[in-house]
């Protein structure tokens, strides 16, 4: 369960677009919230930054006042809210704070003070998602959201599943949100058409084999959904099943979001594959990079379990030129 949510803010309205979504999650889970602002010092590499002490004190005072005002707004909805100021590089300090304070979920806007860009997520947000190994709430800053806290509604929730127990880690938060908002939950599984190595047209035997595999997987997925729905059945929200056959899982899911008018996508970082080389599986990564809908990702790997990137190992050992 999500006991503690970290909300990095930089004073911009773009960063604050995450607040209604964070409030919805925290309210449904009874989570404690910490608002965090990182005070960055602009400096030239390998040189000590020159900082005017008076200006720095004024900057810290303004940041404290800002965080306190946001906290008071959230406390009006019954949340337990703390504030924290740290100094340093934004991504590094946010990740460090999340690890030190056992944060369960980092709530992020895709963009902040630097403004919108042609990239779907800012560089700071991308670093946090890739290196924190924490569950993430990601809200797209370029999508409209109500300025009024507490007015957000989730009508339709999309939950991609691959029939693995690991993918089901997302279900507790899904059911909590669905009950709170009386949302419609779309449990979705894509049966992939298997690829066949070939130099020429597929033979009748090839087509027969493909059909056999697809039929087998459809039946297994159908049994899985029936079992799952019997466990999740509730009178306060509706559950629907979407069992789709296609060649590219991520493409099908992205198309579904638009056609089904999805308000929020919820999924686990990894499913059956659960590779330790990357922080997220292929489908989850496609949602981070190319998605346009608010997203909740439940992380199933810890930093200790994950393989370190070559760049990270080189940095730790003082490598480079």
Give how far the C-alpha of residue 268 lies from the chain's centroid of Cα atoms, to the nearest Å. Answer: 9
pLDDT at 48: 57
**Which stretch of DSSP H or E encloses residue 210?**
helix 204-232
Q: What is the pTM of this model?
A: 0.91
CB atoms inside a 10 Å sphere around CB 138: 25
Give how far the C-alpha of residue 269 lies from the chain's centroid of Cα atoms, to the nearest Å. Answer: 9
Q: How far apart are CA 3 and CA 39, in angstroms?
A: 26
What's the half-sphere exposure (Cβ side, CA atoms, 13 Å) at 255? Answer: 9
Least confident stretch, 39-53, 110-124, 184-198, 255-269? 39-53
Two structure tokens written together for 70:
């946001």
pLDDT above 90 covers what percent of the chain? 71
- The full set of domain ranges for the chain reads 1-152, 153-321
> 137: closest CA among 301, 25, 256, 302?
25
Per-residue pLDDT band for 313 (boundaries 50, 70, 90) equals: low
Q: How far apart are CA 232 and CA 226, in angstroms?
A: 10
Q: What is the topology classification, in CATH, of domain 153-321?
A: Rossmann fold (3.40.50)
Contact in structure between 299 and 133 (CB atoms under 8 Å): yes
Q: What are phi and psi of 44, to 5 degrees?
A: -90, 135
Instruction: Report, at the CATH architecture level, how domain 1-152 is classified.
Output: 3-Layer(aba) Sandwich (3.40)
Helix (H, G, I), strand (E, B) or coil at 115: coil
Please indicate whether the domains covering 1-152 and 153-321 agree at the CATH topology level: yes
pLDDT in tens, 245-287: 999 999 999 999 999 999 999 999 998 876 778 899 999 999 9
């Amino acid at each position: 369960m999500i006991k503690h949510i970290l909300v990095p803010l930089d004073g911009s309205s773009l960063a604050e677009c995450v607040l209604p979504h964070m409030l919805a999650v925290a309210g449904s889970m009874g989570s404690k919230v910490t608002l965090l602002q990182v005070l960055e010092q602009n400096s030239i590499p390998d040189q000590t930054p020159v900082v005017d002490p008076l200006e720095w004190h004024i900057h810290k005072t303004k940041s404290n006042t800002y965080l306190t005002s946001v906290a008071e707004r959230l406390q009006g909805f019954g949340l337990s809210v703390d504030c924290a100021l740290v100094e340093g590089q934004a991504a590094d300090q946010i990740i460090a704070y999340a690890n030190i304070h056992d944060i369960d979920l980092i709530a992020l806007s895709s963009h902040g003070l630097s403004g919108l860009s042609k990239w779907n997520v800012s560089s700071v947000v991308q670093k946090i998602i890739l290196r924190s190994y924490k569950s993430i709430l990601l809200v797209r800053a370029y999508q409209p959201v109500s300025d009024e806290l507490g007015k957000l509604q989730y009508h339709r929730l999309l939950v991609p599943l691959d029939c693995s127990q690991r993918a089901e880690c997302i279900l507790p938060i899904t059911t909590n949100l669905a009950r709170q908002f009386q949302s419609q939950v779309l449990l979705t599984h894509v049966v992939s058409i298997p690829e066949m190595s070939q130099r020429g047209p597929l033979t009748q035997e090839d087509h027969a084999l493909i059909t056999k595999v697809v039929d087998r997987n459809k039946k297994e997925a159908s049994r899985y959904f029936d079992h799952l729905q019997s466990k999740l059945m509730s009178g306060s929200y509706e559950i629907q099943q979407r069992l789709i056959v296609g060649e590219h899982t991520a493409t099908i899911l992205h198309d579904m979001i638009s056609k089904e008018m999805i308000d929020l996508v919820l999924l686990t970082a990894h499913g059956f594959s659960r590779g330790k080389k990357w922080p997220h599986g292929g489908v989850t990564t496609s949602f981070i990079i190319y998605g346009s809908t608010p997203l909740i990702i439940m992380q199933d790997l810890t930093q200790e379990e994950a393989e370190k990137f070559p760049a990270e190992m080189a940095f730790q050992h003082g490598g480079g030129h």
